Amino acid sequence: MGASKHTSDVYVDRFDEIRDRLPGAGLPWLKNLRSGAIERFADCGLPNSRVEEWKYTNLSRILDPQPVLAGPSVNGVHRASLKQYYLDPTPCHRMVFVNSYYRPDLSETGVLPAGLTLCSLETALADRPELLEAHWGILHDLSEDRLSGKNDLKPHAMIALNTAFAAGGAVIHLDHNVSLDGPIHLIYLTALEGGRPAMSHPRTLVVAEAGAHATIFETFIGNGGDAHCCNALTQVAVGPGARVCHYKHQGEAPNGAHIGSSHICLAKNSTYNGFVLSDGA
């Protein structure tokens, strides 16, 4: 436990360094949410073999003890290098993120139909903060096991870490009865920063209101053989009678690490179909 607590202290120090530079730093609700999240992570430390849900995963072996929080990167990332991951020939709305930061120069969102909001986390915090406030806070309820009633934060420490550090990602909102003809494709690339293993914390929010239909693809990759870690969190809220098909491809580089969490909230008569292909790290 000592090594885990030491590592968690490093993350707390990193958070104190950058907290005022994170998107939405001026929003009181988000400031409080991030501060509470890093406190929870500090209390829990990195999950270890003593935590039932993590008993077969030793994070201390795959996470750098002095992590570099990945920032915006433009080096070595070109549209041509991403084409192998495209859904071609299927037309789609494609967003590309490097180290969780949106890259419009690599993206092709096309013409968005009426009733669809497709934007970066930073844009959503500026234009529709109430949408994120309504859904981000829900994850605090995850500390309670609904079957046993036992309250335990430790299994969800990496979700707390994502909440504290999430600097980018996608926000997708479909109004009532909006049905998309083609899929939305989100590509998340983690790239090396300054010769050190980089860690990113992408956050995806999908909200389908009543009667809406959408297909979402998420692709997570690393930049060549560079060491990296992606701590991703995806939230999907499916309204009454709505349907979401969600496909995730984890194709991180061999020297990378991927920690993926998904939180799905279903309303009455809603449908969620999820599929995960993991052939990477």
pLDDT in tens, 113-151: 999 999 999 999 999 999 999 999 876 555 444 444 455
Distance CA(200)–CA(84), nearest Å, equals 22
Instruction: Give the C-alpha distances (Å, rounded to integers) separating 259 from 136, 137, 178, 200.
Output: 19, 21, 32, 10
- Report, as an integer, the average pLDDT of 164-168: 96
Find the domain containing 259 and state its range.
2-278
- State the pLDDT at residue 4: 46
pLDDT in tens, 23-33: 999 999 999 99
- State the pLDDT at residue 148: 44
pLDDT interval class at 237 (50, 70, 90): very high
Name the pTM for this structure: 0.91
In single-letter form, the type of residue at position 98 comes to V
Distance CA(221)–CA(240), nearest Å, equals 33
Compute the residue count for the chain.
281
Q: How many domains does the chain have?
A: 1
What are the residues whose beta carbons fall under 8 Å from the beta carbon of 17, sequence distance 6 or more?
A: none
Among 112-116, 162-166, 225-229, name the one with the lowest average pLDDT.
225-229
Tell whether omega for the bond before 67 is within 30 degrees of 0, i.e. cis.
no
pLDDT of residue 96 exceeding 90, the answer is yes
pLDDT interval class at 243 (50, 70, 90): very high
- State the pLDDT at residue 153: 65
pLDDT interval class at 210 (50, 70, 90): very high
